[in-house]
Amino acid sequence: MKRPLPLLFALPLFLLAIPQHLHAETWTDNTGQFQIDAEYVGVEGRSVVLRLADGSTKKVPIDRLSDASRNRAKELYEAAKQNPAAAKPAMNATPSATPRSSSAAKQHDFAPAVPSVPPMPAFPENGSLQQTVDFVVQQVLAGHPEVIWYALPADVRREVDSAEVRTAMRPSIEMQVQAQKPIEDVANKVCEILIRKKPFILNTPMLKMAPPQVMQMVQPLYDPATGLIYELVQCAFHSQMAVDQSVTAYVDHYGPRIGGHLHALVQSAPPGMIEQFTSKIVVDQIDDSSGTITVPKQDGGTTVVELVAYNGRWVPKEFVAKWKEKGGTMAEGLAEEFENNQEALQASQQQMAQATGMISAMANQFLQPMLDATNQQEFDAALTQAVMTATMMQNQAAPGLGPAPGARNPAFGQ
């Protein structure tokens, strides 16, 4: 049963776990695995529009609702037709409760538009290993990296999304977010330069001296690449959304945003580039409950991952063993770990905050001139100074100013 993996990756992300509010009702999907507490707003086309606790709205295809939820939507739709005046205020009502913080990134005025991607189809339940891998690859390439989250069994996702686990995760997440704030500002400024100063960047001497074939590759990839970088930065620095709402809400928000740019990047890639990698991935299902995936590495070697069937999904064998041992006790384990390591974590976060603060101050000295440049000459001069400064910092890395080459960078989780 061994054959090369065809290519292509995604899945529809709907229904997040959020707090109830005054007029919210529980809506479920036709698999019984997903539910959402939201207020009925109306029907648009073949989708029901629901208002979440944070005031945002979400469209859920009617054919993905359970029979009970579909009947409830029909009942409310018919009632609205009979009394349209009563339905109107609901369209503009202010939610009676909101999460205690809005942890998703605020859109910057320079944020690139996100290319739209079609909804992700339902994840195949109890499929073969080949079907599962094909689906994941297809959906990632189609603009749904959040499919990786939905590839986990439902019981794993439910526990990670539980209030108990999110409460246990909150202290360390909040400490990390606070410590990384200076680096977040620098990362956003880099994104702003990449987006606002695109003409200057593409006309820098360094690129102008590149072979024509390089420029032919860079130009079509530039916009999707910078869009992808921007959304990855927002995702990396706003992980608190995962504890304020849920991991499902977090991946549902950022997955299609990252995926929209990723899909555009894939579409702009040289012909055959993606296939060259995916065709080397080999899937071997040994029996109904076990198999392997062989993935090529950059150094020319391969990595073999053992997978087993568990609760309708194919999951790494090692993960399943640990989950069977630890599943159901995640919250207690996280709380205990934080309690035992609180002082060390606080000291580490303080050191990180000091280091990132210094790095941020130095970085802004050469980033701001690039952002302020009004012509090519000014931009080139600022860029040259930035490169010289960065080189000097790398060659003379002092304690507290930056990691040595190859060192782990906690600010970016690397």
Residue predicted with more confidence, 222 or 341 = 222
DSSP per residue, 299-339: TS-EEEEEEEEETTEEEEHHHHHHHHHHTT-HHHHHHHHHH
> In this predicted structure, what is the pLDDT of residue 55?
58
Q: Are 198 and 222 in contact (CB under 8 A)?
A: yes
The answer on pLDDT for 308 being more than 90 is yes
H-run or E-run covering 25: strand 25-28
Question: How is the chain split into domains, by residue range?
Answer: 19-98, 100-345, 346-412
Q: Which of 90, 102, 87 is nearest to 38 (CA)?
A: 90
The pLDDT of residue 108 is above 60 = yes
Beta carbons of 157 and 249 less than 8 angstroms apart: no
d(CA 154, CA 327): 12
pLDDT in tens, 38-55: 878 888 778 888 877 655
Residue 29, pLDDT > 60, answer yes
Q: pLDDT class for 344, splitting at 50, 70, 90?
A: confident
Q: Which of 143-157, 188-202, 328-342, 375-389 has the lowest mean pLDDT?
A: 328-342
State residue 26's pLDDT score.
82
Report, as an integer, the average pLDDT of 117-134.
Answer: 91
CA 6, 9, 12, 18 torsion: positive or negative?
positive
Alpha helices by DSSP H, listed for 51-162, are 67-82, 84-92, 129-141, 147-150, 154-161
Rounded CA gap, 379 and 371, in Å? 8
pLDDT tens digit sequence for 127-159: 999 999 999 999 999 999 999 999 999 999 999
The topology under which CATH files domain 19-98 is SH3 type barrels. (2.30.30)
pLDDT at 79 over 80: no
Q: Which residues are paired to 316 by β-bridges?
A: 307
Cα–Cα distances in angstroms (integers) from residue 365 to residues 108, 369, 389, 392, 394, in the given order: 21, 7, 10, 14, 16
Contact criterion met (CB below 8 Å) for 157 and 24: no
**Residue 168: φ, ψ to 5°:** -70, -30
